Amino acid sequence: MRRSITLALTVVLAACNSRSERSSQATSKPAQQSDSAQSASAVMATEQPTTNPTAQQVATMDQNKLQVAALPVAAGGPAVGKHDDKLKPYALFYGPPLPTGLTVSHDGRLFVSYPRWSQPANVTVGEVTKDGLVPFPDAATNAFYPSEPGKLDPKTHLVSVQSVVVDANDRLWLLDTGSINMQPAIDGAPKMWGYDLKSRQRVKEIRFEGALKKQTYLNDVRFDLKRGDQGTAYITDSGAGGIIVVDLASGEAWRKLDGHPSVLADKSVTLMVEGQPLKRRPPTGDEQPVMINSDGIALSPDGATLYYTPLTGHTIYAVSTGFLADRNAFDPVAYSAVRKVGDKPSANDGLICDAQGRIYTTDFEDNAIRRITPSGGGGGLTEARGGGAASAQPGEVIVQDERLLWPDTFCIHDGKLYVTSNQLNRQPDFHRGDNQLKQPFAVFQIQIDGQRNPKE
């Protein structure tokens, strides 16, 4: 029986400041903007309407509620009836939108992202605290009207954040797709903002000028702060397929691996989730296969290798970050820079490396988490160039559990692996308009014998 939740979060909006923001692409000086200044007034402006009145987003880490909550379980597939006590609920989420990204700061603060897909959302980035879900950086910056995208400036508001990541300097990065329900991005909306967590001030803005395509969907990001003057970011484009590279000092962005087979969905794979083929099924018309390109991404501890996977596929690939960072290296060279790490029996969404260089994968077809050790152990790969034979086994299953309903995104903190479980496959788009999502969504944690990758 679903347990009622007494924690309530009232998201209210402040009047929006019409001043334009000064871009900080080419400087590390904090951007001049009104996030913190508007926060206090946003909390007080209780008479202001929310942008999405039906989005009652609630989160809790209360141990009593975690222990008694009836969590949804798989309706079919290989994990039915399997329950692993190592997998422990850490936070629960109620309300229409599902959380995708999560990250944990160095001092243990939990942040999550809610992309604006088919379900309404007031908060696209929030911090989960003992008091519930708090919009980050504030409610005003999270405000957006999906049905009226011209009502608020998409350049100064968060439109739809897919991924949140804390870097090695304990800064929080928000990756905004600029897309509503995975449709083509709104002009000027795609962006990446970096925040100092102590001051809650934005210190960096990236606009991806010249690096976006019409089909681009910014998915996930990893940072190497030791490559370049201020660091380098690597981002998967799951819409057009490819890797976007950003020089954080200048804000310049460029594309790599466009058209390479390793970043494209594998058309031979039919995703099986909860024992059923996953297809896009509109209310009327023919069903379509789910073909999603480069998605999961992880960086080796030495920063020399980037791992990535198409969501539609069973193969993990790796590429030299030296090749990615070199804007003068032509993509034909990619056939010697890309390597095949290994094949798995299940597709995954998220990837992450621990400090030992082992790769963790969120295998949503099996409701499982796998761990793979590439040859060399520390991130170096030794297999033949040009897509040669894989040198890694499919990996050990460290947990398989019927509560892991579409494990999505990872974070490692203090010897624990955190993962979102959001039932992505139960959205109406896959079921003729029928919403099969069952609350609550969850963040789980599992104790591992690994530590946080210093690069992630």
Q: Residue by residue, what is the 3-state secondary structure of 306-354? A: EEEEECCCCEEEEEEHHHHHCCCCCHHHHHHHEEEEEECCCCEEEEEEE
Rounded percentage of the chain residues whose pLDDT exceeds 90: 79
Q: What is the CATH number of the domain that holds 275?
A: 2.120.10.30
Is residue 13, in this structure, part of any structural domain at all?
Answer: no
**pLDDT 10s digits, 75-94:** 999 999 999 999 999 999 99
What is the count of structural domains for the chain? 1
Residue 149: strand, helix, or coil: coil
Query: Would you say residue 15 has pLDDT above 60?
Result: no
Domain containing 156: what range? 35-447
Is residue 15, in this structure, part of any structural domain at all?
Answer: no
Is residue 17, in this structure, part of any structural domain at all?
Answer: no
- Worst-scoring range by mean pLDDT, 64-78, 165-179, 260-274, 365-379? 365-379
Residue from 10, 147, 131 nearest 59 by CA: 131
Rounded percentage of the chain residues whose pLDDT exceeds 70: 85
- Tokens 């210093």: give the residue: 454
**pLDDT 10s digits, 120-163:** 899 999 999 999 999 999 999 999 999 899 999 999 999 999 99
CA 28 to CA 377: how far, in whole Å? 35
What pLDDT score was predicted for residue 335? 83
pTM metric for this prediction? 0.87
The burial of 204, by beta-carbon neighbours within 10 Å (0-12 exposed, 13-18 middle, 19 or more buried), is given as buried
The rounded mean pLDDT for the chain is 87
Is residue 422, in this structure, part of any structural domain at all?
Answer: yes
CB-CB neighbours of 192 under 10 Å: 25
CA 379 to CA 399: how far, in whole Å? 23
* Structure-token pair, residue 50: 């929310």
**pLDDT 10s digits, 322-344:** 999 999 888 788 888 999 999 99
- Residue 19's pLDDT band (boundaries 50, 70, 90)? very low
Q: How far is CA 307 from the centre of its chain?
A: 15
**pLDDT 10s digits, 187-205:** 999 999 999 999 999 999 9
Is residue 211, in this structure, part of any structural domain at all?
Answer: yes
CA 352 to CA 409: how far, in whole Å? 9
The number of C-alpha atoms within 13 Å of 284 and in the hemisphere containing its C-beta is: 0
Is residue 22, in this structure, part of any structural domain at all?
Answer: no
Query: Would you say residue 456 has pLDDT above 50?
Result: yes
What pLDDT score was predicted for residue 322? 96
**pLDDT 10s digits, 365-419:** 999 999 999 975 433 333 323 333 344 457 899 999 999 999 999 999 999 999 9
